Amino acid sequence: MTPAKRLLLVGGSATHLSKARASGADILWVRLPEETGPVDTGDGVEVVHADYADAETLRRLAQEAHAVRPFDAVVSLTEPGLDPAARVNDQLGLAGTGFEVAHRFTDKYLMRRRLAEVAAPGIRLVACALVEDERSLRDFGAAHGYPFIVKPTCGTASFGVLKVDGPELTAAAWAEIGRLRASDHPLVHAYDLGDFIMEEYIDGPLCSAEAFSFDGRHVVATVTEAITEESNHVHVGHAIPARVSPAVEADVVRVTAAVLDALGYRDGATHTEFKLTPEGPVLIETQARVGGALLNQLISTVYGLDLQELAFSWPLGVARAVPERPKPRGGAASWLIVTEPGKVREVRGLDEILAKPDTVGVDLWVGPGDVVRSFDGQWDGLGHVASKGDDTTDAIERCRRSLAELRILTD
C-alpha cells in the first residue's frame, strides 16, 4: 500500500483544512497561537500552534517535522502565510513557489519594480514611489498629477488605501499614515505596515482574473466584476462572469498571463485585479492565492471548478491540469455584509437566507456580543452573502435582496 502524501498547511481556515483533506494527504496544520477555537480536524491531521510569521520559528518547526517524515508540499491560502510557506519551500528544496517569486506578490512596490525591469509587452507600467515623508507626497503629486493612490506595500482587504485629491491634502495623508501605523486594528499585527507606496491613479471599472497556473500555463477560470465603495475604495460586491465584451475579456486574459510570466509564477492560484481603461486593462495588484469574498464558491457554482482544492491537489501531484478555460453555467454574486458600529445584539434573517435555493453561501463572522468596528476597509466587513442566478445581473439582484433581509442589530 502506497503511504499517503504529506502536506504542511501554513495558516488558513477550517475551510482550507477541509479542502486540503480532499487531496487525501496527511496534514500538519500550523495555526497562530491565538487561533484556539475548536476545529473538527479528523484523522490524518496534526495541529501545531506557532507564530508562523516568524521566519526562524517556522524554519525550526518545518525542519524538525520534515526530518521525522518528509513533506511533499507546503501550501498557504492566506495572505500572511504566503511568504512563510515560500521560505519553507526554499528551505526544504520542494517544488512549490519560492520566496523570491512569492514576495513579488506580497510586496506591491516590489511587484511594480519587477514589471518595470521585465518591461513585458502589453503591460502598462504605472508610476509609483515609496512614501518617505510629507514632502515625498507633494513631489509625487507634482510629478504625476492628482489624484493619486497611497496604500501599504504589504496588506490586503483594501486596508489603508488613501486617495490624495490635491496638494492641500498631502499633510492629512501623511498624518493618516502615522495613525494607521500606530493603530490597534487587527491588520496592523498581521502585516508589516512600515512602508507605503504612492501610485498613479487609474480611472475605470474594476475587475479581476481568477486563474490557476499549471507548470507555467495560466488558465483564467473567470473574469470577475467588482463593485467598489467610492468612499473608502472597498470592494463591496463581486459577480461572475463579468459583464464585459468578449474583446475586453480576451484582453484581461492575455494581460493576466503576461503579468504572471513577468513575475515568474508557474504553479497555483492567483487573483489579479485590473482597472479597465480605453487603452486596455491596467494592473492594480495581484495575489498568489484564491480571492476572498466567497469567490471560490462562486466559481465552483458557475464553472464546476474548485480552485482551493486544486491549490492542494496540484502540488501533491494528485490532480490533472485543467485543459482549457471552463464555460459558465449561469451567474453568481457575493456582497459584503456591513452594519452600524457597536455591540451586536441580535441577528435576524440568517436562517431564512440559508434556506433559499439560490443561496450559494453566507460567511457571517459576528454574532451576539461581538463588537462591530466602523466600516473603514474590507476587513471591517462582517462577511458575505452569495447567490446564484440565471445570469450575472440576475445573480446580483438576488444577492442584494438576500442581503437586505439580513439584519444585524447593534447597540
Q: For the residues 171-182, what does the mean pLDDT come to?
A: 89
Residue 252 and residue 285: Cα distance in Å, rounded?
13
- Tell the residue number behind the cell numbers 498568489, with chain if given: 288
pLDDT in tens, 17-28: 999 999 999 999
Question: Looking at domain 6-96, which CATH architecture does it have?
Answer: 3-Layer(aba) Sandwich (3.40)
pLDDT value of position 229: 72
**What is the pLDDT confidence band of residue 119, given thresholds at 50, 70 and 90?**
confident
Q: For the residues 331-351, what does the mean pLDDT come to?
A: 95
| Residue 191 pLDDT greater than 70, yes or no | no
For the chain, give every domain's residue range: 6-96, 127-200, 212-327, 330-411
The residues with which 6 forms a beta bridge, in sequence order, are: 26
| Of the options 3.10.20.30, 1.25.40.10, 3.30.1490.20, 3.40.50.720, the CATH number for the domain spanning 127-200 | 3.30.1490.20
Question: Is the omega angle on the peptide bond into residue 328 within 30 degrees of 0, that is, cis?
Answer: no
Dihedral over Cα of 52, 57, 58, 64: its sign = negative
| Residue 189 pLDDT greater than 90, yes or no | no
pLDDT value of position 215: 97
Q: Between 374 and 347, name the one with better pLDDT.
A: 347
pLDDT value of position 3: 75
- Tell the residue number behind the cell numbers 465584451, with chain if given: 245
Cell matching residue 25: 494527504
| Of the options 3.40.50.300, 3.30.479.30, 3.30.470.20, 3.40.50.620, the CATH number for the domain spanning 212-327 | 3.30.470.20
Q: Are 161 and 233 in contact (CB under 8 A)?
A: yes
Instruction: Provide the H-helix boundaries in 107-233.
Output: 108-118, 134-144, 170-182, 186-190
pTM of the model: 0.93
Q: For the residues 280-304, what does the mean pLDDT come to?
A: 96
* 193 closest CA partner among 156, 141, 149, 233: 156
Arithmetic mean of pLDDT over the chain: 92
Q: Between 270 and 232, name the one with better pLDDT.
A: 270
Dihedral over Cα of 102, 105, 107, 112: its sign = positive
pLDDT in tens, 355-405: 999 999 999 989 999 999 887 666 678 999 999 999 999 999 999 999 999
Is 330-411 in the same CATH topology as 127-200? no
* 253 closest CA partner among 122, 125, 107: 122
pLDDT value of position 181: 79
pLDDT in tens, 57-70: 999 999 999 999 99
Q: Are 321 and 312 in contact (CB under 8 A)?
A: no
Question: First vs last Cα of the chain: how many Å apart?
Answer: 59
**What are the strands, taking DSSP E only, across 183-253?**
196-200, 206-214, 217-229, 234-240
pLDDT value of position 381: 86
CA separation, residue 263 to residues 103, 215, 382 (Å) = 10, 14, 33
Parallel, antiparallel or unpaired: strands 234-240 and 331-336: antiparallel
pLDDT in tens, 125-156: 999 999 999 999 999 999 999 999 999 988 66
pLDDT value of position 1: 54
Residue 73 and residue 95: Cα distance in Å, rounded?
8
Please state, for a pLDDT cut of 90, what percent of the chain lies above it: 82
Residue 24, Cα to own-chain centre: how many angstroms?
25
| Residue 185 pLDDT greater than 80, yes or no | no
Q: Between 162 and 352, name the one with better pLDDT.
A: 352
Residue 139 and residue 145: Cα distance in Å, rounded?
10
Mapped onto helix, strand or coil, the DSSP state of residue 245 is coil
Mapped onto helix, strand or coil, the DSSP state of residue 98 is coil
pLDDT value of position 374: 82
Q: Are 129 and 137 in contact (CB under 8 A)?
A: no
| Of the options 3.30.470.20, 1.10.630.10, 3.40.50.150, 3.40.140.10, the CATH number for the domain spanning 330-411 | 3.30.470.20
